Amino acid sequence: MKVVGITGGIGSGKTTVAQVFASMSISVFNSDAQGRRVLDNDMAVIAAVKKLLGEEVYLPEGRADRKAIASKVFADPVLLESLNAIIHPAVKRSTEAWVMALPAGTAYCLKEAAILFESGAASQCDHLIAVRADDAIRIQRIMDRDGVSHAEVEARMKSQWAQEKVAALSDYVVDNSGERSLIQQVVRIHRLLSSQGQ
């Protein structure tokens, strides 16, 4: 079973592109959603995050206060790195268990992650897909999707690697600026990945 990493900066459309693969029956592991789950439920992760960022980043009912966490870590790269170092090993373990449970005979599955390279998870993937879009389009999409300000989107973009760097390290690049058909690009990559054996 080949694990294909799919990544892209915030607003590039990586989730949208992963959904196109999923519509073709490809199994997709969403690392960011799993990261949120471990942040809320994994006792060892919760203890480590409280130690790093303070008890106040958890709400009284026990869930992580994502806004409080974001405001701390996106203003401080060292804290962000420390937070990722807590969450990433737990997400890695979940990914491995998920891949093991997939039916045999599947050519490949996708591991979707916003920071695949930054977290080091790219080295555990057999192939890599980068999704890109022009920065102005990304900012507008996230402002529309999340109701956040231009400055907030920019701060998050700055915490991620430049698109050019991610694209240069990837095997395939999907351009999601709206000029090229997403479906055609995805189908082409799907054919190439499916024909590469297991």
Binding footprint of ligand ADP on the chain (CB under 6 A): 8, 10-16, 141, 145, 176, 178, 182
What span, in angstroms and rounded, lies between the C-alpha atoms of 52 and 81? 11
Strand 2-7 to 28-30 pairing: unpaired
In this complex, which beta carbon is closest to ligand ADP, that of residue 87 or of residue 133? 133
In the complex, the smallest distance separating the C-beta of residue 11 from ligand ADP, rounded to whole angstroms, is: 5
In this complex, which beta carbon is closest to ligand ADP, that of residue 11 or of residue 53? 11
In the complex, the smallest distance separating the C-beta of residue 156 from ligand ADP, rounded to whole angstroms, is: 9
The answer to whether 175 touches 189, Cβ cutoff 8 Å, is no
In this complex, which beta carbon is closest to ligand ADP, that of residue 1 or of residue 134? 134
Q: How many CB atoms lie within 10 A of CB 181?
A: 10
In the complex, the smallest distance separating the C-beta of residue 76 from ligand ADP, rounded to whole angstroms, is: 22
In the complex, the smallest distance separating the C-beta of residue 196 from ligand ADP, rounded to whole angstroms, is: 25
Q: What's the alpha-carbon Rg for the chain, to the nearest Å? A: 17
Q: How many CB atoms lie within 10 A of CB 31?
A: 25
In this complex, which beta carbon is closest to ligand ADP, that of residue 48 or of residue 167? 167
The SS3 of residue 172 is: strand
